Amino acid sequence: MEPSNNKNKMPYVVSSKSPTAVAINAAAKTGEWIKSRLGAFKELGTKLSPQDLVTDVDKGAEIMIRKLIQTHFPEHDFLGEEGVEPGPEASSKAVQELEDSEYLWIVDPIDGTTNFVHGFPYFCVSIALAHKGEIIVGVIYDPMRDEMFVAEKGKGAYVHGNLMSVSKETELAGSLMAIGFNPEREFALPNNMKGITALSTRTRSLRAAGAAAMHLAYVAAGRVTGYYEVGLNVWDIAAGVLLVTESGGKVTDTKGNPYSLSTRHLAATNGLIHDELLGVLDEAGATGL
Ligand code: 2AM
Ligand code: CA
């Protein structure tokens, strides 16, 4: 075959862009499109339960992000929420299959789909890049507030280009704690309810705004002291985990074990209240582990 024919068959790869720049570009473009579809989406139905929604915008946004990333990094692996069957088993299996990838992009096109459907302006795009299981880039974009949260391993985390740092509360009693009611009702709901009941009297107040990734970005920015939730998926949290650690916070599973891509029960705090939070969850039988 003529070399020129061969060349024509090769995908065109735009070189010399950093993964972080690609993630920021993908999150910004996709986020703007998601915002433009607010109130004009098609509800495609439910996934795991009547609470687990998906729209044509979730699907379209994931395709946009995948294409933008693959233009630059066609050899990298890609794990997106909309490419995996619903339910904890399928998501755990997908992580197991890909966690040793050299480079793996982990994408939630819309985190906070329920909010998006109801017009509650708290949802985001979440994009992470893992190298052999370690998250090295985390980008979260909130199109409603035009806030781009960016972290690179070892280089800190930024919002609006300003270095972020976690909050300074030293006790749960003075803490504002984010929590979640994810739609997995058999296992997660009872655990989360026990934790919420225990924390409601031990913290200054609780917030459940309905988007795990945004809660983690807010821990990183020091807007809440910490966040915990049982029964999450890797795409909900991968980018946010790096934001929190690069902002000086601490992230473990709900028993205090180090975070890995297969962690589903997550505690992320300013570090200062971490042990106290884990103690309350343990006492309440709410760790899910
Ligand atoms: P989503 O909007 O991307 O679906 C709310 O507590 C959080 O739960 C959101 O981040 C939401 O992400 C996530 N979530 C939704 N469905 C879920 C499921 N079946 N299992 C675990 N988390 C889920
Ligand atoms: Ca989603």
Q: Where are the alpha helices (DSSP H) in the chain?
A: 3-9, 19-36, 56-72, 88-98, 113-118, 188-200, 212-220, 234-246, 274-283
Domains 19-163 and 172-282 agree in fold: no
Confidence of residue 96 (pLDDT cuts 50, 70, 90): very high
Å from CA of 58 to ligand 2 middle: 7
Task: Name which of 53-57, 271-275, 284-288 the model is least confident about.
Answer: 53-57
Q: Where are the domains of the chain?
A: 19-163, 172-282
Rounded to an integer, the average pLDDT of 69-74 is 95
Those residues whose C-beta lies under 8 Å from the C-beta of residue 31, and which sit 6 or more positions away, are 124, 125, 141, 142, 143
Which percentage of the chain shows pLDDT scores above 90?
85
CA-to-CA distance for 115 and 210, rounded, in angstroms? 7
pLDDT-derived band at 275, boundaries 50, 70, 90: very high
For residue 286, pLDDT over 60 is answered with yes
Residues contacting ligand 1 via CB (< 6 Å)? 48, 52, 81, 108, 111-113, 180-184, 210-212, 229, 231-233, 236
Quick one: fold of 172-282? D-Maltodextrin-Binding Protein; domain 2 (3.40.190)
Please state, as a whole number, how many other Cβ atoms lie within 10 Å of the Cβ of residue 252.
18
Candidate list 111, 152, 169, 184, residue with the active-site label: 111
Q: Is 100 a catalytic residue?
A: no
Q: Is 77 a catalytic residue?
A: no
What average pLDDT does range 168-187 have in this prediction? 94
Per-residue model confidence (pLDDT) at position 53: 82
Mean pLDDT of 197-203: 97
pLDDT at 144: 98
Q: What gap in Å lies between CA 256 and CA 58, rounded to an integer?
A: 33
Neighbours of 273 (CB within 10 A): 24
Portion of the chain with pLDDT greater than 70, in percent: 94
User: How confident is the model at residue 1, as a pLDDT?
Assistant: 41
Ligand 2 midpoint to CA 234 (Å):
11
CATH classification for the domain delimited by 19-163, as one of 3.30.70.360, 3.40.50.2000, 3.30.1360.120, 3.30.540.10? 3.30.540.10
Backbone phi, psi, residue 136, to 5°: -115, -20
Task: Please tell me the distance between residue 78's alpha carbon and the centre of ligand 2 in angstroms.
Answer: 15
The pLDDT of residue 5 is: 53
**Mean pLDDT value of segment 255-269:** 98
> What is the pLDDT, as a whole number, of residue 17?
86
Per-residue pLDDT, 15: 64
* Lowest-pLDDT choice from 9-18, 27-36, 139-148: 9-18
* Ligand 1 pocket mutation pick from 41, 48, 232 by most atoms within 8 angstroms of CB: 232
